[in-house]
Structure 1
Amino acid sequence: MSDQSTAPRMTHRQVLEAISGLLLAMFTSMMANTIVGTSLPIIVPDLGGTQTDYTWVVTAALLTTAISTPIWGKLADLTDRKVLVLVALTFFLLASAVAGFATSPGMLIGARAFQGIGAGGVAALTQVIMADIISPRERGKYMGLFGVVMGVSTVGGPIIGGLLTDSIGWHWNFFVGIPLGIISFVVIVRTLRLSPRANRKVRIDYLGIVLLSVAASLLLIWVTNVKDYGWASTETYTMVGGAIVATALFIWVETRAAEPVVPLSLFRNRTFTLSVLASISIGVAMFGTAVYLGQYFQMARGFDPTGAGLMTIPMAAGMLICSTLIGQLVTRYGAWKRYLVIGAIVMTTGNAMLATLTYDTSLILVGVYMFLLGAGMGMTMQNLVLVVQNTARPEEMGVASSGVNFFRTIGGTAGVAVIGSVLASSMTDQLAQRKDELTSAIAGLGAEGASIAEQFQSGTMPITRDLPATVQVIVEQVAATSIAHAFLIGIPLGVLSLVAIAFLPNIPLGRKNNAERLQEQETDAVDELTATEAAFAREGAMAVASTGAIPIVGEAPGQDAPRTERRP
């Protein structure tokens, strides 16, 4: 028997108090990714990094977030969720401090990797805890708060990062989140109250965790560096082969583990499988496209980090407005599928428009394209988690919720890596094609041209706005064309997302939160057990009455040839 009990349904005010700390923690972790977007063109050269380092500063955090998300989700099904979210937040804050003191690209990338582990826990556990205290039908009106968090972190992060980089130094991109994280820690401790969970033996699938980490890491490292390795190379064969073997072993282990990290039974749920497919595309749009928009505004348009951050406002506005509006409509009317379909169409359209960018595209048009992309993400991202939680078994809420986040993050990580690889390759090819033109422009600068030529030869792209006009225009054209080519990757993935969403079962949203569903499940189990015991008792009484025999203790009525004891 379980000792789990369910507290009375919380009021709107109590819910807001309970999730306030979670939302602040989520904002802090999300801002850690967006705050560096506009500052990386400053940070990476300052640390002596290359375009590959630029990609890995982002990819490292996304990769570890992806790997850790299902692990946190599984732990959420096994142990105290409040303690887990506090541990994840602490991990994130310590890594942020190390990142702020980074003195080399390697140190920064390592700190970002540990940041990702904490961020994965915060993201996964926040949504699981939300399911504990809010029913799927009611959750829509609270999704507006998630929209505000995503919108403010998306637009506020780059602006704050740019201002800090320009005025104090890029190190404060990482330090600024520490006080916010400490505040969220205190708020969670003081306000979050969860119903006691059923006693359950904790069994960690360590082998599954290792195999999942190996498979994801090998694949992402290969994707990031394939331009250097070559498609037919020893490195490619080793990494891709290793990822395939690790994945096959992971699947085999998961079918036999007592508590698998990713229960394969989840994929028998049509809603979960289709939501995973759709989430991959959203991950590419959310992480991949958004990251390289900052590079577009600085390298192709000559903005400083602060200006580049301000230019991302339309995308954040689209996300905030549509997430809030659609959340209210979902709660009021209960319909959700139409909004997901529309969101997928709008997101794909915005991505396709961004793939047409040039160095002189009207900034108004760029803003419209970004608004469409943000609006599509706002309509789809949280709703996909919502529909999965609506159909998931209560005892698997952690792994189901984190599963969607896991594949979305994998999509984003792969998206950043692939877009970065395509961007670097395209930029290298175009600079080679325009080598004579660029050499001529640099030669015309005299002594000043020598240092600029040295930067190009070292593989470090110079800051565009600091270049003389004759060189600047060439670099801007090359950067804009390369970034637009890289954005083409999101179009077929957007179509895949639309198809997956179109086939989602249109199941009505439930009106009970996860704690209530668990209590109902336990009550039903007790009632069934009581009814079974009563049936056995009646059958036993009838046997005694008809035969005068007393069943031996431990023998159930109805068994073949029961041993009996005659009355004296």
Structure 2
Amino acid sequence: MGMSRKATPAGEIREPAQDTGKQPASVRMVLFALMIAMLLAMLDNMIVGTAMPTIVGELGGLEHLSWVVTAYTLATAASTPIWGKLGDMYGRKGVFLTSIVIFLIGSALSGMAQDMGQLIGFRAVQGLGAGGLMVGVMAIIGDLIPPRERGKYQGMMAGVMAVAMIGGPLVGGTITDHLGWRWSFYINLPLGAIALIMVTAVLHLPKKRSAARIDYAGAALLTIGITSLVLLTTWGGTEYEWLSKQIVGLGVLAVVALVGFVFVERKVSDPVIPLRIFRNANFSLVTVVGFLVGFVMFGSMTFLPLFQQTVQGASATNSGLLLLPMLLAMMVVSLIAGRVTTQSGRYKIFVTGGAGLITVGLVLLSLMGVGTTRLTSGLYMAVLGAGMGFLMQTTMLIAQNSVEMKDMGVGSSSATLFRTIGGSFGVAIMGALFTNQVKDTMIEKLGAAAGAKMTGGGAQMDPKTLPSLPAPVKDAYAHAVSSGTHQVFLWGAIISVIGFVAAWFLKEVPLRGGPSAKPGEADASVERPVVVEAV
């Protein structure tokens, strides 16, 4: 074998130089190191989600619930395209390790937060690192393994998902109940140290130095546009009226910034997000579906534990365990979809089926009330989990299969960006709906003065304090949270229909690196380059 193998029209299995000695065992070792790093970010979301009611209860203010998550996802969204571009320009390893370090700094600071403002700010630092961490894993996997072969390693990824999704809520609940919520952040530090050591030891990529310049103007405009949109959805109808000058101003700023971003990206030589990748219809459609996955996943993981702890009377630990039906369904379905895709090369059925199941699952969850049993809610969550399982890995696979190899970093980061923006919008919009509905229901049941007092900025409705409250207040708050989650999931179901429609228009382009790909079958717009990096 020479230093590289010329690509065929149908696709390419990227092979390294012979003297690098890359063998399947070494690929598995690299993937194992990457999975530890991925576990770092996935565990954080699961642990913090379970601990969130206690965190907000102790630091005060129900209206801050969504902001603790929004600050994290907003920083992740704003930084994701920059991390992807830096990896393409300067090599993935150093950029990836830097993102892990920033994530750990944010974790340590979040654990030391003394008030809600500090926690929100430190979560933003944590999210900044998470943006590079997740896109780094996806881009490196995209470099190492062609899409058609990726299902062979799906077991490792499914294993990480199992540990994070099953262990995360359980660990988060146990830590919250016995050690305090601050350890839900401190737990990242030893795991992060292992990730740093493993990645440094086993991931060997050639150092790159690009003469290209970072598109700072584009990055700044994109950040302003995303931030304005998230603030608009978060504050609209809650902090400010929809037609207030603040909300209208944010809307105008978002439009101006995003239009300016498109203009800049068309002119600069090295855009932070090359607009050419959106000329591929599959890539554009799958970003819409990915947006909806993020919207639903972040929203459900934020508000389901609150429903379980407040309405169903579960402890933080038990609320983590009660999420198992959704998480197990997601893990098992993701594993099956990966293996079938590897064997058959078929994937569209999983995207359409997953989008449909998500809609059905959200409709079912919207039916939950104060009398809903844990068994019933578990079955509803399993339907939602199955839908997300079909889409979690499949959407990223389609996105990476739809871009040129030289754009693997920005392609992965763009797909991750839209999923993250979906999460930001989901938490912001669902949080606004939830908060308004809770306030309205509390006022309806307790009267204007008492209801406003119980849900005001200084209220501390910690699930642990609910048993000590008078029975009428407990009953009113349970009904309020139930009504709030009904609104959240009902509107989530309505919005998820967009993803279901988008999935139907996907074209089943043969996956690169597969035996079924024949000359002329692959998307002609996707070049098949020779080796770019070797391990």
Provide the TM-score with structure 1 as the length reference: 0.85
Q: Paired residue for 2:170, among 152, 155, 159?
A: 159
Q: Paired residue for 2:57, among 26, 45, 60?
A: 45
Residue 28 of structure 1 deviates from its aligned partner by: 0.8
Aligned partner of residue 164 in structure 2, secondary structure: helix
Q: Paired residue for 2:215, among 205, 211, 219?
A: 205
Shift in alpha-carbon separation, 1:458–1:57, aligned structure 2, 3 A: closer
Residue pairs, 1:42-121, within 5 angstroms: 42-47=54-59, 49-121=60-132
Relative contact order (alpha carbons < 8 A, sep ≥ 6): 1 or 2 greater? 2
Shift in alpha-carbon separation, 1:505–1:521, aligned structure 2, 3 A: farther
Partner of 2:26: 14
Q: Is contact 2:148–2:512 with CA below 8 Å preserved after alignment?
A: yes
Q: Distance in 2 between matches of 1:286 and 1:453?
A: 30
Residue 246 of structure 1 deviates from its aligned partner by: 0.8
Instruction: Indicate the percent of aligned positions where both proteins have the same amino acid.
Output: 37
| Number of equivalenced pairs | 504
Q: Is contact 1:277–1:497 with CA below 8 Å preserved after alignment?
A: yes
Residue 239 of structure 1 deviates from its aligned partner by: 0.9
Q: Is contact 1:144–1:323 with CA below 8 Å preserved after alignment?
A: no
Shift in alpha-carbon separation, 1:278–1:453, aligned structure 2, 3 A: closer
Partner of 2:459: 460
Shift in alpha-carbon separation, 1:17–1:230, aligned structure 2, 3 A: same
Residue pairs, 1:366-381, within 5 angstroms: 366-381=377-392
Deviation string, structure 1 residues 305-362 (Cα, Å, up to 9, x no partner): 1111111111110111011111111112221111222111112211111111111112
Deviation string, structure 1 residues 351-405 (Cα, Å, up to 9, x no partner): 1111111111121121111111111111112111111211211111111111111
Q: Distance in 1 between matches of 2:63 and 2:271?
A: 35
Paired letter, 1:170? W
Residue pairs, 1:417-566, within 5 angstroms: 417-436=428-447, 455-456=454-455, 458-464=457-463, 465-466=466-467, 467-511=469-513, 517-519=528-530
Residue 152 of structure 1 deviates from its aligned partner by: 2.6
Q: Paired residue for 1:242, among 246, 250, 253?
A: 253
Partner of 1:273: 284
Residue 189 of structure 1 deviates from its aligned partner by: 0.9
Deviation string, structure 1 residues 256-298 (Cα, Å, up to 9, x no partner): 1111111111111111100111111111111112211111111
Residue 147 of structure 1 deviates from its aligned partner by: 2.8
Q: Distance in 1 between matches of 2:327 and 2:17?
A: 37
Shift in alpha-carbon separation, 1:370–1:106, aligned structure 2, 3 A: same
Paired letter, 1:281? L
Deviation string, structure 1 residues 524-568 (Cα, Å, up to 9, x no partner): xxxxxxxxxxxxxxxxxxxxxxxxxxxxxxxxxxxxxxxxxxxxx
Q: Is contact 1:99–1:112 with CA below 8 Å preserved after alignment?
A: yes
Deviation string, structure 1 residues 237-266 (Cα, Å, up to 9, x no partner): 111111111111111111111111111111
Aligned partner of residue 434 in structure 1, secondary structure: helix
Q: Distance in 2 between matches of 1:82 and 1:404?
A: 20
Q: Distance in 2 between matches of 1:10 and 1:325?
A: 28
The two structures, once aligned, show a CA RMSD in angstroms of 2.3
Partner of 1:326: 337
Shift in alpha-carbon separation, 1:97–1:457, aligned structure 2, 3 A: closer
Q: Is contact 1:141–1:324 with CA below 8 Å preserved after alignment?
A: no
Deviation string, structure 1 residues 460-483 (Cα, Å, up to 9, x no partner): 252344234343222111111111
Aligned partner of residue 50 in structure 2, secondary structure: coil
Q: Distance in 2 between matches of 1:142 and 1:395?
A: 23
Q: Is contact 1:147–1:378 with CA below 8 Å preserved after alignment?
A: no
Partner of 2:35: 23
Q: Paired residue for 1:342, among 324, 347, 353?
A: 353
Q: Is contact 2:102–2:125 with CA below 8 Å preserved after alignment?
A: yes
Q: Distance in 1 between matches of 2:228 and 2:338?
A: 38
Higher-Rg structure is 1
Deviation string, structure 1 residues 8-60 (Cα, Å, up to 9, x no partner): 5844322220111111111111211221112121112212x312221111100
Q: Distance in 2 between matches of 1:347 and 1:162?
A: 26
Q: Distance in 2 between matches of 1:348 and 1:70?
A: 29
Residue pairs, 1:252-401, within 5 angstroms: 252-401=263-412
Q: Is contact 2:169–2:317 with CA below 8 Å preserved after alignment?
A: yes
Residue 521 of structure 1 deviates from its aligned partner by: 8.9
Mean Cα displacement is larger for which, 288-297 or 429-438? 429-438
Q: Paired residue for 2:187, among 162, 176, 187?
A: 176
Residue 436 of structure 1 deviates from its aligned partner by: 4.2
Q: Is contact 1:79–1:202 with CA below 8 Å preserved after alignment?
A: no
Residue 126 of structure 1 deviates from its aligned partner by: 0.5
Q: Distance in 2 between matches of 1:242 and 1:521?
A: 39
Q: Distance in 1 between matches of 2:175 and 2:379?
A: 27
Q: Is contact 1:38–1:308 with CA below 8 Å preserved after alignment?
A: yes
Deviation string, structure 1 residues 163-183 (Cα, Å, up to 9, x no partner): 111111111000001100110
Q: Distance in 1 between matches of 2:137 and 2:531?
A: 23
Q: Is contact 1:34–1:291 with CA below 8 Å preserved after alignment?
A: no
Q: Is contact 2:84–2:410 with CA below 8 Å preserved after alignment?
A: yes
Q: Paired residue for 1:185, among 186, 191, 196?
A: 196
Q: Distance in 2 between matches of 1:332 and 1:512?
A: 9
Q: Is contact 2:446–2:473 with CA below 8 Å preserved after alignment?
A: no
Q: Distance in 2 between matches of 1:199 and 1:42?
A: 47
Q: Distance in 2 between matches of 1:61 and 1:199?
A: 30
Structure 1 runs not aligned, ≥5 long: 440-451, 523-568
Partner of 2:11: none
Shift in alpha-carbon separation, 1:125–1:472, aligned structure 2, 3 A: same
Residue 146 of structure 1 deviates from its aligned partner by: 2.4
Partner of 1:221: 231
Paired letter, 2:38? M
Aligned partner of residue 49 in structure 2, secondary structure: coil
Partner of 1:564: none
Q: Distance in 2 between matches of 1:478 and 1:37?
A: 20
Provide the TM-score with structure 2 as the length reference: 0.90
